[in-house]
Structure 1
Amino acid sequence: MSTSLSAAAPVPETTDSGSAGSHLPDEVRLSLYETMVLSRTFEEAILREYHADKGPGFDIGKGLVPGEMHLSAGQEPVAAGVCAHLTTDDAVTATHRPHHFAVAHGVDLRKMTAEIFGRETGLGRGRGGHMHLFDPDTHFSCSGIIAEGYPPALGMAFAFRRRGTDRIAVAVTGEGAANQGAFHESLNLAALWRLPVVFVVEDNEWGISVARTASTAVASNADRAAGYGIPGVRVEDNDVEAVHAEAAKAVARARAGEGPSLIEVATLRMWGHFEGDAQGYRPELDSVAGLDPIPRYEQRLREAGVLDDAVVARVKESASARVEDAVAFAKSSPTPDPTDVMTYVFAEGAAR
């Protein structure tokens, strides 16, 4: 049973959410699947390009995509289920593992890929890289600092309300970041001011190499919502339709001026914390592939008559074409001129 997201109770009960969404229209279920496939296809392409020239051995500084890389394979249901209820007028602040939310929120694939490759045509003209994507066209941002996205989401939500709009902010973080001060300060202020924010916690069970059970005193971060008098719910089993159902309530609550909500999703990090992570700390690695949410959801939709071989092929071909176009665009784009290193860092020509 899911928690009600009405404003009736000052301190709502926090319970688990099981499988939901069986009454979704077929076109919505297909759209969720398409978003998940596009996100995974993108991550597989970045994985390929990232590792293509890191040898001999593994040199994190070499190649077309130097530096750290945090990929979101396995966490697609969270982004697809939440972003299905948003428009590009709504704001999303994501984590250092941001690509699935960027894809689901409609960030331009070409510009995002070029930014990841450090090219002048990227979202930040190649200055930010994959952990610092910023897209004012879709009000999307992310950061490599843990829990950093929560306070800016409050600022945007406050601005949206002051302007008299029904726009909302979605703030995403991992379960490890729920132990940070910024997490608790943000929940407190959002609740106090009844800001239109949806807080999302992706519980992939690992804060880098530390298990959630070894770092967090509560079994579910959704329980912490009650301490701030806001609704909290945990979605189990990485279920995209259950995420969609709970996000519908939380988004509607925020748009109606009823204040913030928190959704925690039990999700899955299929690959390492970063590329090159040997993952020797994970005793469950052998079972991870069998928990992949995309083939599981695909089978569910096949059984419901939503998908068949032809539709699956079309979805995957479309995703591949879009992603490979973005990769080709990035590779063909110029690298920034080193003499312009300070350009676009500070605002220029602004009135005093």
Structure 2
Amino acid sequence: MTGADLYRTVRLIRRFEERAIAYVRSGEIVGGIHPYIGQEAIAAGVCAALTADDVITSTHRGHGHVLARGVDPGRLFAELMGRETGLNQGRGGSMHAADFGLGILGANAIVGAAASIATGAAWARRRQGRNTVAVTFFGDGAMNEGMLLEAFNLASLWRVPVLFVCENNGYATTMPVAAAVAGSITGRARAFGIPAFTIDGQDAESVVAAAETAVARARSGAGPTFLECTTYRFDAHHTFEHRVRMSYRTTAEVETGWSRDPVEIQGNRLSPDVRTEVDAEVEAVLDAAAAFALASPHPDPSTALDHLYAGAS
């Protein structure tokens, strides 16, 4: 992947999220979203290291992951808006985007839960003779969840080809990581015999380099790797904060976070002409995506119970 390709992905995620926030405010997206603004380089860099046969699991803050994996932005907008043409026919919403055809096994609103899904999927595919690697994204708040630690244990014991990616943005909702995690984040993984590294999550090229090494290790049969990607969430934990104006972060802290904007870091590696061209391409893609979603129908209320229960046959 070229530098321009990486920039295109981080820019696409940023502009998608900014437009999604506007649709929350206009009422087209009901219930709000968890914006990924500030963390784009992690999704872009990790997914750039994967092949078509690899799989990912995501989080409640998952739009960036699925976009970086190649999801159609129009279908993602449609899902957020509850339209029939959405990834999950408008039934999953922001926190449950999935596309099995692209190896996206689903975002998950339960903190830490998707790690066990990714570990199981990687193990199952290896048993089938496939050389699949699974990636599971989660935040620093998941480091105290038993499901994640159980996944570490199984992955290490059975040398499962899975990459654990912790997006450490400093807060579990409003709880500072220093007040919630004893010891170190990487230390949790190392205790299970998993190689663990802290990398700059604001630099897409640094993320690609670390992810490529980890993916190659997994594919060779050497087992899991843990990456702690240090990052900063520029926007709210959830768009609900735009109304309640919570005060767990100072203005100075947020401004300092913005000083290392992953979009600017990657964009500054391109010539002005190339960057302008990519920006225009992204806007055209998102214009078409938004038009598609807004023109799509809402599901028929009579189908509300469809897809909930297995048939008797």
Q: Could you tell me the TM-score, scaled by structure 1's length? A: 0.84
Do the aligned partners of 2:98 and 2:107 also contact (CA within 8 Å) in 1? yes
Aligned in 2, Cα 1:348/1:319: closer, same or farther, shift over 3 Å?
farther
**Residue 238 of structure 1 pairs with residue 202 of structure 2:** yes
* Equivalence for 2:284: 321
Q: CA deviation at 1:296?
A: 2.5
* Equivalence for 1:288: 257
Q: CA deviation at 1:267?
A: 0.7
Q: CA deviation at 1:113?
A: 1.2
Unaligned ranges ≥5, structure 1: 1-26, 53-62, 302-306
Do the aligned partners of 1:87 and 1:105 also contact (CA within 8 Å) in 2? no
Q: Give CA-to-partner distance per residue, 1:239-283, whole Å, 9 cap, x none.
A: 222211110111001111111110010011010000131241002
Which amino acid in 2 is paired with 1:97? R
Do the aligned partners of 1:74 and 1:267 also contact (CA within 8 Å) in 2? yes
Superposed CA RMSD in Å reads: 1.3
Structural mapping, 1:1-352, within 5 Å: 28-52=2-26, 63-140=27-104, 141-219=106-184, 221-236=185-200, 238-277=202-241, 278-283=245-250, 284-299=253-268, 301=269, 307-348=270-311, 351=313
Which amino acid in 2 is paired with 1:145? I
Do the aligned partners of 1:32 and 1:81 also contact (CA within 8 Å) in 2? yes
Q: CA deviation at 1:165?
A: 1.2
Write out the 4+ residue segments of structure 1 that deviate beyond 3 Å after TM superposition: none
- Give aligned-pair identity as a percent: 39
Do the aligned partners of 1:88 and 1:106 also contact (CA within 8 Å) in 2? no
Unaligned ranges ≥5, structure 2: none
Look up the SS of the partner of 1:201 in the other structure: strand
Do the aligned partners of 2:201 and 2:207 also contact (CA within 8 Å) in 1? no
Aligned partners of 1:144 and 1:68: how far apart in 2? 14
Do the aligned partners of 2:41 and 2:262 also contact (CA within 8 Å) in 1? yes
Q: Bigger radius of gyration, 1 or 2?
A: 1
Structure holding more helix per residue: 2
Aligned in 2, Cα 1:313/1:348: closer, same or farther, shift over 3 Å?
farther
Do the aligned partners of 2:42 and 2:201 also contact (CA within 8 Å) in 1? no
Q: Give CA-to-partner distance per residue, 1:273-298, whole Å, 9 cap, x none.
A: 00131241002123333222211232
